[in-house]
Chains A and B, each alone.
Chain A
């Protein structure tokens, strides 16, 4: 979070730099079955973000030491391609990617029925091809779709979205400039059918009223995004039963 107040990110009339209102999402598209080598896959564009996720498994968990006798482990890798950002990212170990991989795995734990696959692992490979704020939310949301495409049993879908605050105003779905100069960032993971929170993080400063408004925006957006997930998954089959 950078300095606040010095960059005007939202006008008095409530218009943001890209023309959006406070509670509007950037344009989102979701496609499934886009990676032929994967068991399940998803491509998601969110604003200028592009994420492609492949799911493999369930398969025997190797090495032995990561195996759990009563369930599958979620082996999640979130990775940003070198050309995904303004300044090139050198390939190799990246602390931020490691942290996001872990957060993503923990979020997906709330929905994937891992007890059905003892001693196995399910690989979730998230590749960010183009980044423009909100890649972690994009990755998690796309991963849930890829898992569903792969037929991995889950008790719900998962949608991840973030709200924040810019120039003292609570807004939904921060873009790059808003993320850099904003005053708060609240990404969440929501299970759309039960409205439970799979995860919640917060950076910055929000009053109780601002927090509630931010959550309200997140919940409403999650419903919209869930509908897009559903349409993407069903589009390959609607009207095409055997």
Chain B
């Protein structure tokens, strides 16, 4: 493998820090070219993947991307579409034509009303950050049972674990179905004791005082996972 990034492995950088590289390299998110130098734009770790170096931010707001699986709730309805809060800077639109129901204009409320949660997918994000979602797809639906918890998009990687090992362990131990959405929400379905077990872990994140996993949170989370 061609190592182009010559800095310390997974170096922690802050905005404005220069990134040293040898030779040609493609840059991914979080890195810009300024005055012939590569500059980090966020607090995060520099990583390399097949000749592309990118920055993995420690903390960033959830920015929806096409293909993301998200859990959101209806904030309003107008015409033939539902407006969803999916935790991004803008609300997302779900038009009736992209829902599994075939209803008349104005009969949205029969199927989903204000305050209802749903598992949907981001279909498209335009240049003005307008978001359109779809409920047509396997597994996508209104969420009527179980609980929805917030772990934050910055904590998904930690929660799921490398190759999903944390998530598998949690599912097995609790007997619950756990859906982890890209916008940092999780949906837990199962019996009450099972849900309680999963929440015991997810509470580390929802109770936390920071929107990203810092050292203390990582430590206490790992400890709880070991006890399973």
Measured CB to CB, the residues of A under 8 A from B are 33, 36, 39-40, 57-60, 69, 111, 113, 117-120, 148-157, 191-194, 229-230, 233-234, 236-242
Contact = CB atoms under 8 A, between A and B. Distances in A.
A39 B61 CA distance: 8
Contacts of B210: 33, 36
B157 interface: yes
A241 B10 contact: yes
Given A60-B89, A192-B16, A240-B218, A153 B30 contact: yes
Contact of B16 (A118, A154, A238, A240): A154
B134 interface: no
Majority SS of interface residues in chain A? Answer: loop
A230 B59 contact: no
Most B CB atoms within 10 A — which of A33, A149, A229, A236? A236
A233 B209 CA distance: 16
Nearest to B159: A242
A193 to B, nearest CB: 4
Contacts of A155: 15-16, 32, 34, 39, 41
A175 B12 CA distance: 35
Most B CB atoms within 10 A — which of A39, A192, A193? A193
Most A CB atoms within 10 A — which of B15, B16, B57, B58? B15
Contacts of A33: 209-210, 214
Contact of A193 (B39, B61, B128): B39
Contacts, number: 106
A117 B158 contact: no
B206 interface: no
Chain B interface bracket (under 10, 10 to 19, 20 to 34, 35 or more): 35 or more
Most B CB atoms within 10 A — which of A57, A153, A238? A153
B124 to A, nearest CB: 15
Contacts of A60: 89-91
A40 to B, nearest CB: 7
A148 B57 CA distance: 10
Contacts of B179: none
A238 B44 CA distance: 11
Interface string B14-51: 11111000000000001010110001011111000000
A53 to B, nearest CB: 15
A237 B12 contact: yes
A80 B60 CA distance: 28
